[in-house]
């Protein structure tokens, strides 16, 4: 189990060692590519953009309760990283003259769920699901374009999100550790059924972009479940030494 100190060191180092994004090339996105992915990318950019205040409040509360003050510092770095994703995607949208979105149904729904109850578990669970789908999504975007800037930007985000997913499943393992076995089974069952919602909604909202990236509904569905299963395996507290 990675400690908060270790996560802090990781996020600090990761902020320094960024892939070089060739911004000077311009967007270099073709009209066809833009038709397929522009709306979707603008929606995803909005989703990556948040002030993080709800999360920070929940994290402060939680860290105090479990006596791990460093966790708050880690969350601050995590928020910065997500803001970098939103910022860089926004920069790309501007470069390609794709209008930014102010509102989007998917983003609104995702926020409502995250903010419903200011508890770490209620925040972490939907986030790990969406980050899992982000792996499928950004990989597809990478395949859907020849723009060097967008390809490299996706590469950086993918690299970051892999660690975010680990950050979340380890946290859920901590949260679930002392839950009785039967309640934990129930938790996994609820998660399993709940996961259908973002998987279906992301396909509804982004199928054009996903198809442009080489997916059919079938391959998307399979990929989405394989990746979430990976996280579910590692969410189990018995995998870790305490
Ligand atoms: Fe992100
Ligand atoms: Fe993330």
**What tens digit of pLDDT does each residue of 132-141 get?**
999 999 999 9
Q: What does the pLDDT look like over 156-197, one tens digit per residue?
A: 999 999 999 999 999 999 999 999 999 999 999 999 999 999
Neighbours of ion ligand 2 (CB under 5 A): 131, 161, 164
Query: 178 C-alpha vs ligand 1 centroid, how far in Å?
Result: 30
Q: Which two tokens stand for residue 172?
A: 């859920």
Residue 46 to residue 56: CA distance in whole angstroms: 19
Q: Is the pLDDT of residue 114 over 90?
A: no
Q: What is the pLDDT of residues 65-111, one digit of tens each?
A: 999 999 999 999 999 999 999 999 999 999 999 999 999 988 898 88
Centre of ligand 2 from the C-alpha of residue 132, in Å: 9
Secondary structure letter of residue 48 according to DSSP: T
CA of 183 to the centre of ligand 1 (A): 30
> CA 201 to CA 179: how far, in whole Å?
30
What is the predicted pLDDT for the residue at 242?
87
Q: DSSP letters along 161-219, please?
A: HHHHHHHHHHHHHHHHTTS-HHHHHHHHHHHHHHHHHHHHHHHHHHHHHHHHTT--HHH
Ligand 2 mean position, distance from CA 26 (Å): 25
Q: Give the pLDDT confidence score for residue 109 in this predicted structure.
A: 87
**Structure tokens belonging to residue 170:** 């380890």
Q: 6 C-alpha to center of ligand 2: Å?
A: 18
Query: How many angstroms separate the alpha carbon of residue 161 from the centre of ligand 1?
Result: 6
C-alpha of residue 34 to centroid of ligand 2, in Å: 24
Q: Which ligand has the shortest distance to the CA of 156?
A: 1
**pLDDT range class, residue 206, cuts 50, 70, 90:** very high
Ligand nearest to the CA of 55: 2
pLDDT band at residue 217 under the 50/70/90 scheme: very high
Q: What is the CA radius of gyration of the chain?
A: 18
Comparing 117 with 240, the larger pLDDT belongs to 240
Which residues are CB-contacts of 46 (< 8 A; sequence separation ≥ 6)?
86, 100, 101, 102, 103, 104, 107
Give the domain extent around 119: 4-239
pLDDT band, very low/low/confident/very high, at 204 (cuts 50, 70, 90): very high
Tokens 């928020």 map to which residue?
Answer: 79
Residue 177 sits in a domain whose CATH number is 1.10.620.20
Query: Ligand 1 centroid vs 179 CA: distance in angstroms?
Result: 29
Count of alpha carbons within 13 Å of 173, Cβ hemisphere only?
21
How many domains does the chain contain in total?
Answer: 1
d(CA 60, CA 52): 12
pLDDT above 70 as % of the chain:
100
d(CA 223, CA 143): 15
Ligand 1 centre from 116 Cα, in Å?
20
Which segments within the chain are labelled E, that is strand?
none
């Amino acid at each position: 189990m990675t400690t908060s100190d270790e996560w802090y060191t990781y996020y600090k180092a990761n902020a320094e060692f960024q892939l070089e994004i060739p911004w000077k090339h311009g967007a270099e996105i073709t009209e066809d590519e833009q038709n397929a992915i522009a709306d979707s990318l603008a929606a995803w950019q909005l989703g990556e953009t948040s002030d993080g205040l709800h999360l920070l409040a929940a994290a402060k509360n939680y860290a105090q309760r479990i006596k791990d003050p460093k966790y708050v510092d880690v969350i601050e770095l995590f928020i910065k990283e997500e803001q970098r994703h939103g910022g860089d995607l926004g920069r790309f949208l501007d470069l390609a003259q794709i209008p930014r979105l102010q509102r989007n149904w998917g983003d609104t729904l995702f926020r409502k769920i995250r903010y419903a109850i200011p508890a770490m578990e209620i925040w972490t669970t939907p986030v790990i699901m969406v980050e899992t789908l982000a792996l499928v999504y950004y990989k597809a975007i990478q395949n859907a374009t020849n723009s060097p800037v967008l390809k490299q930007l996706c590469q950086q985000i993918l690299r970051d999100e892999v660690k975010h997913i680990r950050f979340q499943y380890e946290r859920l393992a901590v949260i679930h550790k002392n839950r009785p076995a039967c309640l934990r089974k129930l938790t996994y069952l609820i998660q399993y059924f709940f996961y259908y919602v973002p998987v279906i909604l992301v396909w509804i909202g982004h199928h054009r972009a996903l198809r442009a990236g080489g997916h059919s509904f079938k391959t998307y569905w399979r990929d989405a479940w394989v990746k979430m299963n990976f996280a579910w395996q590692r969410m189990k507290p018995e995998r870790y030494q305490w």
